[in-house]
């Protein structure tokens, strides 16, 4: 929490100092203060999205695993008081986080062009409502989750859906009238993007993708979702409903299946599965056989979901390329793919080392004859191939664009290279965090935070391009973001002036290689005898 406060305070102060006037004059109608206020508002929104959900997502599930939640529910406190106490404590932490930006917001008002009534107060209300809503989401998932890392994973997935993916239906229906248009309108109102566009005066950019809602609509939609989630969570805050029966297992008598056991004895009953070939990494096979997302039924589900997403993206690419052009439709496609990678990647990479140490499985790996290098490569490849499966399922959209406009085939190839490099960065950074974390929950939350800073934080710098950040600084910052390289290759509006590839590829691969080297040294250190 202290590190988060220092980071938010430094970022907000730097944004103001870069644009502070040198002639000691204010300007009532100038956009100078707005050029500072806009990235500051988006930075605070991103901070709330990254830091607020981690605490409530682990609150109830940790209490239940420790056995203290049952004591709370059997105390004189009512379930409503328990829920409001946990919700209020997390909202107060969010208020402390937002309070460190008050001097920067006051400086924006002093610069002129920003008013408390039209800008500062609406932004504060939106951030407060976001904190309440995301805290309710975290508690709603935490009461249903079986582990802290699963709760964190699903909480960030839900927030990503509420903040980003809820704008997706506008691509299909736009601002049409009728039931479909009404549903798309209110789904868009759930996202804070619509509220921020109105507060920061960016309605023109929002109108290009069909966003026409404001911050009042966001308050109404958020209040409805928060009330529904609170009611659903309170229904489960019951000691009887929290009791979960353990599996009883199978009872086998001495007479049942005797012939079958004798037949299995003839063919070696200890060899139930085919042996692992010499060319296959046994640690990778172990990860796929023991990890939840590595089992066959979960891989089938993942393939099915990615196939559906692929079909939707193909429809979007086919209709959007014809109606709107490649430049307009390629940007949302890249952002949707990066959202999927950021959703699945940290949850896979953060479990590679931390979960082994937390569960005691690392002690078993240490006594095996498998070298530290093979342990590292097996774990990294298990996460890499899973993310590549997600990436490959979303590629048909680019194939449709290449078929409609063959001149962009080379650009599509560069985009695919950028996305593969993004997969390498996500896996290596998450695995490195997992090797130094004490628990899986800490590793998962830290991985999400770091990757959001790399992929989303650099886009905040791009959002403030021109003033206060110059084009040279913006281009250098975007070099560490492979998603920005993909957007620049497709000539997305706002990125056509930057020439990021192949320099960005070399830098991102260097970051991934550096993380891999540090990870190898860390695994070698953990593998040594005590």
Neighbours of 267 (CB within 10 A): 7
pLDDT tens-digit series, residues 191-228: 887 788 778 775 444 444 445 557 788 888 889 999 99
Nearest to 327 by CA among 393, 405, 413: 405
Using an 8 Å Cβ cutoff, are 41 and 200 in contact? yes
Is the pLDDT score of 315 beyond 80?
Answer: no
Is the pLDDT score of 369 beyond 80?
Answer: yes
Supply the pLDDT for residue 212. Answer: 55
Residue boundaries of the structural domains of the chain: 28-243, 289-530
pLDDT band at 317; cut points 50, 70, 90:
low
Supply the pLDDT for residue 520. Answer: 93
Supply the pLDDT for residue 352. Answer: 87
What global pTM score does this model have?
0.74
pLDDT tens-digit series, residues 96-120: 888 888 888 888 888 777 888 888 8
Is the pLDDT score of 503 beyond 80?
Answer: yes
Supply the pLDDT for residue 307. Answer: 66
pLDDT band at 377; cut points 50, 70, 90:
very high
User: Between 38 and 79, where is the model more confident?
Assistant: 79
Using an 8 Å Cβ cutoff, are 58 and 152 in contact? yes
Measured distance CA(32)–CA(38) in Å, rounded? 10
Measured distance CA(61)–CA(66) in Å, rounded? 9
Q: Mean pLDDT in the chain?
A: 78
User: Between 462 and 247, where is the model more confident?
Assistant: 462
pLDDT band at 433; cut points 50, 70, 90:
very high
**Average pLDDT, stretch 245-253?**
54
Supply the pLDDT for residue 439. Answer: 79
pLDDT tens-digit series, residues 49-92: 877 888 888 888 888 888 888 888 888 888 899 999 999 998 99
Supply the pLDDT for residue 314. Answer: 64
Supply the pLDDT for residue 204. Answer: 46
User: Between 125 and 322, where is the model more confident?
Assistant: 125
Which residues are paired to 469 by β-bridges? 465
Supply the pLDDT for residue 370. Answer: 86
Supply the pLDDT for residue 206. Answer: 46
User: Between 294 and 502, where is the model more confident?
Assistant: 502
Supply the pLDDT for residue 421. Answer: 94
Give the sign of the dihedral formed by CA 307, CA 208, CA 411, CA 472. negative
Supply the pLDDT for residue 464. Answer: 67
Using an 8 Å Cβ cutoff, are 50 and 452 in contact? yes
**Average pLDDT, stretch 143-153?**
80
What single string gives the DSSP state of each residue in 335-386? HHHHHHHHHHHHHHHTTSSHHHHHHTHHHHHHHSS--HHHHHHHHHHHHHHH
Is the pLDDT score of 34 beyond 70?
Answer: yes
Radius of gyration of the chain (CA): 25
Is the pLDDT score of 150 beyond 60?
Answer: yes
Dihedral angle over CA of 395, 400, 404, 409, nearest 10: 20
* Cβ-based neighbours of 404, under 8 Å, separated by 6 or more: 318, 321, 322
Among 45-49, 173-177, 185-189, which range has the highest average pLDDT?
Answer: 45-49
**Tokens describing residue 366:** 């240490």
Supply the pLDDT for residue 310. Answer: 64
User: Between 23 and 510, where is the model more confident?
Assistant: 510
Supply the pLDDT for residue 250. Answer: 55
Supply the pLDDT for residue 93. Answer: 86
The Cα angle at residue 146 between residues 141 and 147, in degrees rounded to 5: 90
pLDDT tens-digit series, residues 260-301: 444 444 444 454 556 677 778 888 888 887 766 556 666 677
What single string gives the DSSP state of each residue in 253-299? -SSTTHHHHHHHHHT-TT--SPPPPTTS-HHHHHHHHHSGGGSHHHH
Measured distance CA(17)–CA(9) in Å, rounded? 12
Supply the pLDDT for residue 166. Answer: 64
**Average pLDDT, stretch 230-257?**
66
Supply the pLDDT for residue 264. Answer: 46
Is the pLDDT score of 15 beyond 80?
Answer: no
Is the pLDDT score of 128 beyond 80?
Answer: yes
Supply the pLDDT for residue 325. Answer: 59
């Amino acid at each position: 929490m202290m590190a988060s406060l220092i980071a938010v305070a430094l970022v907000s102060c730097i944004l103001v100092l870069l644009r502070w006037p040198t002639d000691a004059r204010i300007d009532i109608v100038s956009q100078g203060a707005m050029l500072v206020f806009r990235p500051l508002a988006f930075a605070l929104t991103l901070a709330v999205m990254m830091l607020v959900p981690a605490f409530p997502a682990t609150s109830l599930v940790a209490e239940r695993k420790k056995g203290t939640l049952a004591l709370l529910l059997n105390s004189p406190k009512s379930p409503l008081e328990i829920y409001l106490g946990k919700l209020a404590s997390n909202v107060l932490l969010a208020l402390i986080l937002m309070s460190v930006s008050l001097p920067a917001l006051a400086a924006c008002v002093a610069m002129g062009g920003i008013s408390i009534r039209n800008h500062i107060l609406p932004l504060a209300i939106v951030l407060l409502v976001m904190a309440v809503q995301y805290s309710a989401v975290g508690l709603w998932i935490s009461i249903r989750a079986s582990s802290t890392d699963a709760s964190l994973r699903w909480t960030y997935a839900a927030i990503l859906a509420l903040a980003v993916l809820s704008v997706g239906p506008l691509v299909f229906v736009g601002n049409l009238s009728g039931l479909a248009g009404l549903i798309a309108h209110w789904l868009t109102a759930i996202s804070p993007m619509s509220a921020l566009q109105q507060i920061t005066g960016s309605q023109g950019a929002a109108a290009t993708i069909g966003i026409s809602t404001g911050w009042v609509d966001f308050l109404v939609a958020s209040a409805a979702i928060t009330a529904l989630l609170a009611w659903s969570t309170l229904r489960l805050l019951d000691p009887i409903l929290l009791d979960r029966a353990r599996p009883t297992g199978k009872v086998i008598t001495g007479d049942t299946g005797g012939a079958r056991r004798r037949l299995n004895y003839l063919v070696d009953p200890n060899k139930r599965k085919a042996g692992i070939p010499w060319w296959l990494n046994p640690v990778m096979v172990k990860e796929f056989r023991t990890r939840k997302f590595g089992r066959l039924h979960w891989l089938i589900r993942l393939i099915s979901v990615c196939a559906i997403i692929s079909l939707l993206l193909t429809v979007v690419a086919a209709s959007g390329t014809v109606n709107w052009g490649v430049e307009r439709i390629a940007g949302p496609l890249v952002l949707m793919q990066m959202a999927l990678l950021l959703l699945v990647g940290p949850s896979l990479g953060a479990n590679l080392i931390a979960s082994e140490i937390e569960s005691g499985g690392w002690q078993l790996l240490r006594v095996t004859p498998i070298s530290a290098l093979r342990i590292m490569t097996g774990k990294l490849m298990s996460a890499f191939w899973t993310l590549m499966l997600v990436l490959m399922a979303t590629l048909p959209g680019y194939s449709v664009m290449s078929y409609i406009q063959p001149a962009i085939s080379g650009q599509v190839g560069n985009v695919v290279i950028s996305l593969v490099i993004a997969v390498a960065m996500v896996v290596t950074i998450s695995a490195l965090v997992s090797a130094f974390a004490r628990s899986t929950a800490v590793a998962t939350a830290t991985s999400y935070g770091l990757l959001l800073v790399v992929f989303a934080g650099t886009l905040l710098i791009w959002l403030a391009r021109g003033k206060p950040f110059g084009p040279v600084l913006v281009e250098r910052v975007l070099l560490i973001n492979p998603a920005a390289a993909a957007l620049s290759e497709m000539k997305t509006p706002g990125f056509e002036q930057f020439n990021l590839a192949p320099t960005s590829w070399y830098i991102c691969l260097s970051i991934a290689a550096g993380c891999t080297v540090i990870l190898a040294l860390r695994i070698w250190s953990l593998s040594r005898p005590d």
